[in-house]
Amino acid sequence: MKMEDTVVFLILLIVSVRAASHDSVHQLSQKILSGYKNMVRGSEDLSQRTYVDCTFQIVRIVEYNEVSGKLAIAGFFFLQWQDYRMKWDPDQYDGTRDIMFLTKDVWTPNIFLTTAHSNFRKLGDDDLPVRFDSEGKSFWYPADVFTCSCTPDIYYFPYDTQECVIFFSFWAYGLNEVGFRTLFREVNTNYYSEHGLWNLTSTSTGVLESDTVNAFVIELTLTRMPTFYLINMILPIIIIGLLNIFVFLLPAESGERVSYSITVLLAIAVFQTMASDKLPSVSRPQVSLLCIKLLIDLLLSVLVTTLTIVSLYFYDMPKSRRVPVCVRAICSAILCRRCCSKKSQDRYEKEETYEIYKVVNGQKITASISLSNHHTSEVTASENNDITWSDVGRCSDIVFSIFSLLAFFASNLAFLLLVKV
């Protein structure tokens, strides 16, 4: 029988109206409760175990707080067991085939949520009705908002998946007295309402039984929908990190480089604080990759601020101080000064041709003279080859900006690849 058909049958069984008189139902209830002890199990042989068949229907995820590890879900159980004291012949009571009692008047299994987040509570309410049929089978549907503990694994936040395991156990009963049996291997989701942040991707139910444990186990797999955090946290962090690179495009004479880089540094620190408020303050099982990325971005921003100060140091170096030969060689290679000087030399070594003429006896005599300015070429090439401290500053801007760009792409690419694995 399918799960849906079984649920429909049970609901119809609960709401069905039996063709029985009020007097016969009253007489039957008095007969059953006469001498009934609600603290005694319904087994004819108390040396035998009383098995409780159960399944769970989840209605919705009320809350999942990763900071406190608190998971609240709304749902209800279907529990069924056999009580021999509830048997009767329907023909003797005008065809009465089922009857209801309050939970406090009959024996019900004493079940507690053993993975509770804060308070331990018994499953079911004393005024909750429980139905029995003429064969002694019970039909009990305790419902509640179950607040349990679920330790989060936020390593891949906000692309994380949480696996929550919920345990329900008998209280004050021995392992040889009562036991669980599961009706279905999955949680019933016929009445489930979607959550705005978490997707319920898979469920399972089972029984954990050993020499020391007897529990009904519910496993829920929750996958976070990352769109909100992607728009409001990750993309702003990436954009702010990109702003670090543009500090080297500001003119050194503007005097705004250091203040600009410090502003970016403070913005990253603010986002790091915001992310810390959203995540639990735990180191087990792992620290979030987002926190590691924010720390790397913060260190890179500190490094960019330091490099900005070094670059400004070159710009403000006294002109009387000679640029070292090795620095001049590096800057010449980066700024392509040799190429520029060669082109300049070719330009200045171009010959200039002049044409003169003289009229003799009515005839025009012409002559051509070619001149080249070697001296001017040598002076210009010498001037172009001279590396100043301002050139060293521009060279450092190029090197530092390329380094910052590579570091930016490397950190963000590594983060995106890791969280998507």
Q: How confident is the model over 197-213, as pLDDT tens digits?
A: 999 999 999 999 888 88
Mean pLDDT of 131-145: 93
Q: How confident is the prediction for the chain on average, in pLDDT?
A: 82
What CATH number does the domain located at 228-317+402-419 have? 1.20.58
The model's confidence at residue 337, banded by pLDDT at 50, 70 and 90, is: low
**Of 136 and 21, the one with more pLDDT:** 136
Whether the per-residue pLDDT at 158 is higher than 60: the answer is yes
Residue ranges covered by each domain of the chain: 3-225, 228-317+402-419, 325-358+365-387
Determine the pLDDT at residue 143: 93
Instruction: Flag whether pLDDT at 347 surpasses 50.
Output: no
Whether residue 18 has pLDDT greater than 50: no
Is the pLDDT score of 344 beyond 60? no
Which class is 3-225 in CATH? Answer: mainly beta
Higher local confidence (pLDDT), 387 or 139: 139
pLDDT tens digits, 378-409 = 444 444 457 888 888 888 888 888 998 999 99
pLDDT at 336 over 70: yes
pLDDT at 288: 85
**Is pTM, for the whole model, over 0.85?**
no
pLDDT band at 359 (very low <50, low <70, confident <90, very high): low
Looking at per-residue pLDDT, the higher value among 289 and 337 belongs to: 289
Backbone φ and ψ of 402, nearest 5°: -65, -40
Taking CA atoms, 33 is separated from 104, 124, 205, 304, in Å, by: 12, 20, 34, 82
Percent share of the chain, pLDDT over 70: 82
Q: For position 352, what pLDDT does the model report?
A: 56
Fold match, 3-225 / 228-317+402-419? no
Give yes or no for residue 10 having a pLDDT over 60.
no
User: Nearest-CA neighbor of 159 among 99, 230, 95, 103?
Assistant: 230
Residue 364 has a pLDDT of 59
**Quick one: three-class SS letters along the chain?**
CCHHHHHHHHHHHHHCCCCCCHHHHHHHHHHHHCCCCCCCCCCCCCCCCEEEEEEEEEEEEEEEECCCCEEEEEEEEEEECEEEEEECCHHHHCCCCEEEEEHHHCCCCCEEECCECCCCCECCCCCCEEEEECEEEEEECCEEEEEEECCCCCCCCCCCEEEEEEEEEECCCCCCCEEEEECCCCCECCCCECCCCEEEEEEEEEEEECCCCEEEEEEEEEEECCHHHHHHHHHHHHHHHHHHHHHHHCCHHHCCHHHHHHHHHHHHHHHHHHHHHHCCCCCCCCCCHHHHHHHHHHHHHHHHHHHHHHHHHHHCCCCCCCCCHHHHHHHHHHHCHHHHHHHHHHHHCCCEEEEEEEEECCEEEEEEEEECCHHHHHHHHHHHHCCCHHHHHHHHHHHHHHHHHHHHHHHHHHHHHHHCC
